Amino acid sequence: MIKTLYVLLALAWIACGCANVQTSSNSSLERNVATNSFALKTIADHHATSESVSRVLNELGPVQESSEFWASIANDDTYPTERRRRCIIELFRRHVHAGMNLREVAEKLHKPDWLPDKDIVLVELVSGHIPVKTVFGDTVVALLLLPQGQGDKEAVYLRISGKIRPQAVGEVLRGESTTGSVAQSKVEEIGFAVR
């Protein structure tokens, strides 16, 4: 009888503890949703200052938004260039990952008009640090982020399996060519060069 009582008390204590954990988890999720909702509204507000946008970008929780949110701002030249760049970076950080093929990456980018061929640079000779490894047989490209001058080198780096021309990468990422071996090439690594 006493053993049964201890077992029942232990089960009640565990259940109570689990209920508290569940409540804590739910309130944490609700906080993340509220934080992200406010952050996304701020980021999308044309009148928001760069300081407020930077602050909310640093407070973003787990991914709950679609990639289209970031892509729509990146493609909209009525936003300040710096905000568009930050949105491109967040688009890649939050929605693109190693192991995806270029066609899958293109789906996340939603026909990026910010990515002309001239801003896709093949990385062949490295004299300094780049944020991805160079591996024999792979292609490394830097996607320059809306460059406005000679020293403007913010970029997303992709290491892609196989040897691919930068123009072919651009055609796939812009959704101009979605079939064939280039579209199926895997992104092995992603890196960022930002200020």
pLDDT in tens, 33-63: 677 899 999 999 999 999 999 999 999 999 9
Residue with structure tokens 């093929």? 101
Distance CA 99, CA 95 (A): 12
179: which 2 tokens? 């079939």
pLDDT at 73 over 70: yes
Q: In this predicted model, what pLDDT tens digit does every residue of 115-137 receive, in sequence order? A: 999 999 999 977 788 999 999 99
Predicted confidence band at 74 (pLDDT cuts at 50, 70, 90)? Answer: very high
Give the confidence band of 26 by pLDDT, cuts at 50, 70, 90: low
Q: Is residue 139 scored above 90 in pLDDT?
A: yes
The residue ranges of every structural domain in the chain are: 98-195
- Mean pLDDT of all residues belonging to the chain: 86
CA distance 114 to 146: 7
Helix (H) or strand (E) holding 182: helix 181-184
Model confidence, pTM:
0.82
CA angle 95, 99, 104 (to 5 degrees): 55
**Tokens 């949105």 -> residue:** 87
| Residue 167 three-state SS | helix
Helix or strand (DSSP H, E) at 43: helix 2-44
